[in-house]
Amino acid sequence: MYAGIEAGGTKFNCIIAEDPQNILTETRIPTTTPHETLTNVIDFFLKEALSRNVTLKSLGIGSFGPLDLNKQSPHYGCITSTPKTAWQNVNIVKELEDRLHLPVELDTDVNAAALGELCWGAGQGWQNILYITIGTGIGGGAIIAGKPYHGLLHPEMGHIFLTQSSTKDNFKGVCPYHSHCFEGLASGPALKAQWGQDAALIESHHPAWDQEAFYIAQALSIYISILSPEIIILGGGVMQQTHLFPLIRTKVIELLNGYLQTPAILENIEHYIVPPGLGTQSGVLGAIALARSLDA
Ligand SMILES: [Zn+2]
């Protein structure tokens, strides 16, 4: 059995599992102070493993960030410049490794979700996939040639700059760092700031969705041009509005304007831009996939 954590800004989803068919137990622990949350996480794994008489082989963590993922860096395993100030410079790898005595593999929440989808979800059979979450925040994880992509730091796909949907629109977005970035314009809080209600409560025929689809399609067109993914998986709270999918697909085709001649986009886009195969479990099962990657 493996331990997995999807570490988010509001809760830590913890799971003991082998794969999606063999889930032993799972729980949600609120994200409060690092000391309190990590103590509760450690208690959960130790007590559950003991009472169920299972040995945990390793731990995978998909975390909010930004993160230091460079294994040569003295700060490897740290959450870095997060707006959640209590968590700045917390080394979650070291804390959990020391107290659980398990090997730990860390990646971004979205890279973990992408890996989960690659192993067991909509990304099965592909080598180059993109997972984008559109919810409280916006982020993207990429699997390139079968492996989670990092680079210099790790991609921050929510913070690319987009063209406004209308020249009359004065809304600059809700991101504290940038004007007109994807997360600032199209996250759940951005929808609320623009339209005055929670995304979940905005009716499906409201003009908010046409604008939302335009922003998401712009971002996807950029990712398609740069990374050429074989499939794009869209998850997160805002994407629970499934009526967005056909709007986004139509706008991606319009924006690319016939330049990319591939049946995946021109004929079968409903199989190219898709919801997660693992539903809302991509992240936490992705953490199990990260733990399992230590076996290889
Ligand atoms: Zn931004």
Instruction: State which H helix or E strand residue 14 sits in.
Output: strand 11-19
Band of residue 163 on the pLDDT scale cut at 50, 70, 90? very high
Query: Which domain does 57 fall in, by range?
Result: 2-109+280-293
Q: Closest by alpha carbon to 289, among 8, 18, 7?
A: 18
Average pLDDT value over all residues in the chain:
96
Residues 249 and 284 in one domain: no
Task: For residue 86, report the distance from its CA to the centre of ligand 1, in Å.
Answer: 21
Domains: count for the chain: 2
For residue range 11-67, list pLDDT tens digits in order.
999 999 999 999 999 999 999 999 999 999 999 999 999 999 999 999 999 999 899
Within 13 Å, how many C-alpha atoms sit on residue 202's CB side? 27
For residue range 209-231, list pLDDT tens digits in order.
999 999 999 999 999 999 999 99
Task: For residue 134, report the distance from its CA to the centre of ligand 1, in Å.
Answer: 13
Tell me how far the alpha carbon of residue 66 is from its chain's centroid: 12
Task: For residue 22, report the distance from its CA to the centre of ligand 1, in Å.
Answer: 38
Task: For residue 154, report the distance from its CA to the centre of ligand 1, in Å.
Answer: 15
Percentage above 90 pLDDT, the chain: 95
Task: For residue 158, report the distance from its CA to the centre of ligand 1, in Å.
Answer: 7
Task: For residue 45, report the distance from its CA to the centre of ligand 1, in Å.
Answer: 35
Residues 205 and 235 in one domain: yes
Question: Do the beta carbons of residue 118 and residue 129 sit within 8 Å?
Answer: yes
Task: For residue 266, report the distance from its CA to the centre of ligand 1, in Å.
Answer: 31
C-alpha span between 70 and 55 (Å, rounded): 29
Q: Closest by alpha carbon to 113, among 272, 10, 6, 188?
A: 6
Residues 156 and 254 in one domain: yes
What's the pLDDT score for residue 261?
94
- Identify whether 114 is part of a domain: no
Residues 202 and 243 in one domain: yes
Examine the pLDDT at 296 and tell me if it is beyond 80.
Answer: no
**pLDDT higher for 181 or 167?**
181
Residues 201 and 73 in one domain: no
Torsion 24-27-33-36 (CA) sign: negative
Residues 160 and 264 in one domain: yes
Task: For residue 165, report the distance from its CA to the centre of ligand 1, in Å.
Answer: 17
Task: For residue 136, report the distance from its CA to the centre of ligand 1, in Å.
Answer: 13
Q: Closest by alpha carbon to 202, among 210, 169, 257, 133?
A: 210
Average pLDDT over residues 190-208: 96
Tell me how far the alpha carbon of residue 77 is from its chain's centroid: 18
Task: For residue 78, report the distance from its CA to the centre of ligand 1, in Å.
Answer: 21
Average pLDDT over residues 170-199: 96
Task: For residue 195, report the distance from its CA to the centre of ligand 1, in Å.
Answer: 20
